[in-house]
């Protein structure tokens, strides 16, 4: 769903919530407590927090709506993440935000030999969540010149995919949906095997990737499973 103006992001009730939170902050802290940069980041935080969830905004949607440069947007998002958003107590919200971010840009294979994928994440808070998750679980991330591009290990992506599946398990039977969505005639043997397994995606694919002769085929299966899984979950969310 595309939006053309900032007011379109909100229902009337959302506008009232945003304004009330802003006024309460001023009442608690005073008008002059935030620097210009902090205040801009805080306004971004409030807009992001109270906008309708039906709108999934990419980097250039934000640039257009806020009328700022991409570099300025990145700065606002980082300040918002550090000062006003939290990583530690909102994992469920971050998993949902991660699905929306990964869905916007198809996951691509970056390097078969080094077993790395390319993902694009335009929300700096979600990017910091992935970086924090990687550090906690012993994974290394490589960075490209694009500040929104992450080069991640297959295992990190599969771990995140398992987290996503677990988060939505009461609402989406992801394995059954994947089997139904991927036409039999278009499935490789590796993909069919991946869909039928009862194992976690991480456990199943890690075992298969250890066999060099099978590696390339299973890498293609990871990409397909990941992209289709994100599409299925987004289809579910868009119906809510």
DSSP H stretches of helix in the chain? 12-29, 36-50, 59-66, 70-83, 91-104, 124-136, 154-167, 174-181, 189-196, 201-209, 215-239
In tens, the pLDDT along 95-139 reads 988 999 999 888 898 988 888 999 999 888 899 899 989 999 999
Are residue 102 and residue 192 in the same domain, yes or no? yes
* pLDDT at residue 164 tops 60: yes
pTM, whole model, 2 decimals?
0.78
Question: 38 is in which domain, residue-wise?
Answer: 6-85
What Rg value do the Cα atoms of the chain yield, rounded? 20
Last residue of some domain: 54, 85, 116? Answer: 85
Last residue of some domain: 65, 85, 105? Answer: 85
Residue 4 pLDDT grade (very low, low, confident, very high; cuts 50, 70, 90): confident
In a domain, 1, yes or no: no
Are residue 61 and residue 120 in the same domain, yes or no? no
Are residue 115 and residue 213 in the same domain, yes or no? yes
- Residues comprising the chain, all counted: 240
Domain count, the chain: 2
CA distances from 66 to 44, 60, 80 (A): 9, 10, 15
Are residue 70 and residue 106 in the same domain, yes or no? no
Q: Distance between CA atoms of 124 and 78, rounded to whole angstroms?
A: 6
In tens, the pLDDT along 205-225 reads 988 888 877 788 888 889 889
Q: Distance between CA atoms of 128 and 121, rounded to whole angstroms?
A: 10
More confident residue, 222 or 56: 222
Specify burial of residue 145 (Cβ count, 10 A radius: 0-12, 13-18, 19+).
exposed
Are residue 205 and residue 123 in the same domain, yes or no? yes
């Amino acid at each position: 769903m595309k939006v053309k103006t900032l007011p379109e992001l909100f229902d009337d009730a959302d506008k009232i919530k945003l304004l009330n939170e802003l006024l309460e902050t001023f009442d608690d802290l005073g008008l002059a407590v935030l620097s210009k940069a902090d205040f801009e980041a805080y306004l971004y935080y409030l807009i992001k927090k109270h906008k309708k969830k039906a709108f999934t905004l990419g980097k250039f949607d934000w640039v257009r709506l806020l009328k700022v440069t991409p570099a300025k947007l990145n700065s606002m998002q980082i300040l918002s993440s550090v000062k006003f958003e939290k990583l530690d107590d909102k994992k469920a919200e971050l998993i949902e935000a991660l699905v929306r971010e990964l869905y916007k840009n198809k996951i691509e294979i970056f390097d078969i030999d080094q077993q790395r994928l390319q993902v694009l994440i335009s929300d700096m808070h979600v990017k910091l969540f992935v970086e924090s998750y990687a550090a906690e679980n012993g994974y290394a991330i490589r960075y490209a010149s694009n500040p929104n591009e992450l080069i991640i290990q297959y295992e990190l992506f599969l771990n995140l995919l398992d987290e996503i599946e677990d988060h939505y398990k009461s609402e989406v039977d992801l394995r059954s949906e994947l089997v139904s969505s991927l036409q039999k005639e278009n499935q490789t043997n590796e993909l069919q095997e991946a869909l039928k397994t009862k194992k976690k995606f991480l456990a199943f694919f890690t075992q298969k990737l250890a066999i060099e002769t099978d590696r390339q085929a299973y890498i293609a299966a990871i990409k397909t499973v990941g992209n289709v899984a994100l599409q299925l979950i987004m289809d579910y969310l868009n119906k809510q």
